[in-house]
Amino acid sequence: MIYGRLLGKVRTWVRLRSSLVRQCLAEFLGVFVLIVITLSASAQAVTSEGVKGGYFSSSLAGGIAVMVAIHISGGISGGHLNPAFSLTMCLLNQCPWWKLPIFSLVQVLAAFLGAGTVYTLYYDAIHHYSNGTLEVTGPRETASIFATYPAPYLSLRNGFFDQVLGTAVLVVSILAIVDSRNKGIPKGLEPLGVGLLVLSLGLAMGSNCSCAINPARDFGPRLFTYVAGWGHQVFSAGNYWWWVPIVAPMVGAATGTVAYQLCVEFHHPPAPDEEILTAAPEKHQPGSEKEVEIPVYAVNKYAEMWAEGGPGTWAAGDRSKWEAANSTRTVKPEQ
Residue 335 has pLDDT above 50, yes or no: no
Mention every residue, 6+ apart, whose C-beta is less than 8 A from residue 65. 33, 34, 35, 36, 37, 38, 195
Cβ neighbors of 151 (< 8 A, separation 6 or more) are 207, 208, 209
The pLDDT assigned to 281 comes to 52
Q: What is the pLDDT of residue 279?
A: 53
pLDDT band at 223 (very low <50, low <70, confident <90, very high): very high
Task: For residue 279, give the amino acid letter.
Answer: A
3-state secondary structure of 245: helix
Q: How confident is the model at residue 314 (pLDDT cuts 50, 70, 90)?
A: low
- What confidence tier does 303 reach under pLDDT thresholds 50, 70, 90? very low
Strand spans (E) along the chain = none
Instruction: Look at 258 and 280; give whichever has higher pLDDT.
Output: 258
More confident: 306 or 48:
48
309 pLDDT more than 70: no
Cβ atoms of 74 and 191 closer than 8 Å: yes
Look at residue 298 and tell me whether its pLDDT is greater than 80. no
* Encoded amino acid at 294, one letter: I
Per-residue pLDDT averaged across 230-238, rounded? 96
Mean pLDDT of 95-108: 97
Range name among 118-132, 223-237, 273-287 with the lowest pLDDT average = 273-287
Q: For the segment 3-40, what is each residue's pLDDT rounded down to a tens digit?
A: 778 878 787 888 888 999 999 999 999 999 999 999 99
Q: With cut-offs at 50, 70 and 90, classify the pLDDT of residue 319.
A: low
Residue 121: pLDDT above 70? yes
CA angle 209-122-128, nearest 5°? Answer: 95
Cα 161 from Cα 312, distance rounded (Å) = 97
pLDDT tens profile 159-212: 999 999 999 999 999 999 999 899 888 889 999 999 999 999 999 999 999 999
| Spatial CA neighbour of 209 closest among 222, 197, 194 | 222
CA distance linking residue 51 with residue 125, whole number of Å: 13
The pLDDT score that the predictor gives to residue 13 is 84
When pLDDT is averaged across residues 74-99 and rounded to a whole number, the result is: 96
Half-sphere exposure at residue 249, Cβ-oriented, CA atoms within 13 angstroms: 24
Residue 292 — pLDDT band, cuts 50, 70, 90?
very low
Rounded to two decimals, the pTM is: 0.80
Distances (CA, A) of 211 to 59, 167, 195, 198, 293: 10, 9, 14, 9, 65
H runs (alpha helix) in 130-186: 156-178
Q: In this prediction, what percent of the chain has a pLDDT beyond 90? A: 72
- pLDDT confidence bin for 273, thresholds 50/70/90: low
61 or 280, greater pLDDT: 61
Please give the pLDDT value at position 271. 74
pLDDT of residue 241: 97
Residues 39/118, Cβ–Cβ less than 8 Å? yes
Predicted pLDDT at 270: 84
- Alpha-carbon gap, residue 300 to 316, rounded angstroms: 18
Is the predicted pLDDT of residue 131 greater than 50, yes or no? Answer: yes
Residue 200 contacts residue 211 (beta carbons within 8 Å): no
Residues 6 or more apart in contact with residue 249 via CB below 8 angstroms: 82, 83, 84, 163, 164, 166, 167, 212, 213, 214, 215
pLDDT for 129 beyond 80: yes
Residues near 154 by Cβ (< 8 Å), separated by ≥ 6? Answer: 162, 208, 209, 238
For residue 156, give the DSSP letter. Answer: H
